[in-house]
């Protein structure tokens, strides 16, 4: 279920009576549109355990380089939020995982990465 919360502002007050015909409000309206995604079903416990194990492995690799997340992400051109989410055991995109593994030349393959998970 996607919940859309639509805030719009006229001057300093929230006001539903604003005239949005004036195109000047359009950029403001777009900026203040917030989408919140609610997960349809929770991640099964066994899947969550795997995600946490992957996140821990990623963290170990980064800590082995003695680098803070920000520096590691900047040097490897990775989105910090996506990386941080992955380390925290949150759901992720496989392309993010592959980019992170590629940043660690000592990890020779996916099988090598997953061998202890």
pLDDT of residue 106: 94
The C-alpha atoms of residue 18 and residue 34 are separated, in whole angstroms, by 18
pLDDT of residue 41: 78
Spacing of C-alpha 88 from chain mean position: 10
pLDDT of residue 43: 86
Closest CA to 33 of 3, 56, 55, 12: 3
pLDDT of residue 91: 86
pLDDT of residue 75: 95
pTM of the model: 0.63
Average pLDDT along the chain, 117 residues, taken 10 residues at a time: 42 48 51 51 90 96 96 95 94 92 93 91
């Amino acid at each position: 279920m996607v919940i859309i919360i639509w805030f719009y502002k006229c001057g300093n007050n929230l006001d539903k009576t604003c005239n949005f015909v004036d195109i000047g409000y359009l950029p403001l309206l777009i900026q203040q549109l917030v989408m919140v995604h609610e997960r349809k079903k929770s991640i099964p416990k066994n899947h969550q355990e795997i995600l946490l194990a992957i996140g821990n492995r990623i963290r170990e690799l980064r800590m082995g380089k003695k680098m803070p997340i920000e520096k590691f992400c900047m040097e490897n051109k990775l989105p910090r939020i996506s990386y941080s989410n992955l380390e925290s055991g949150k759901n992720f995109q496989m392309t993010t995982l592959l980019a992170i593994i590629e940043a660690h030349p000592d990890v020779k393959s996916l099988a090598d990465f997953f061998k202890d998970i």
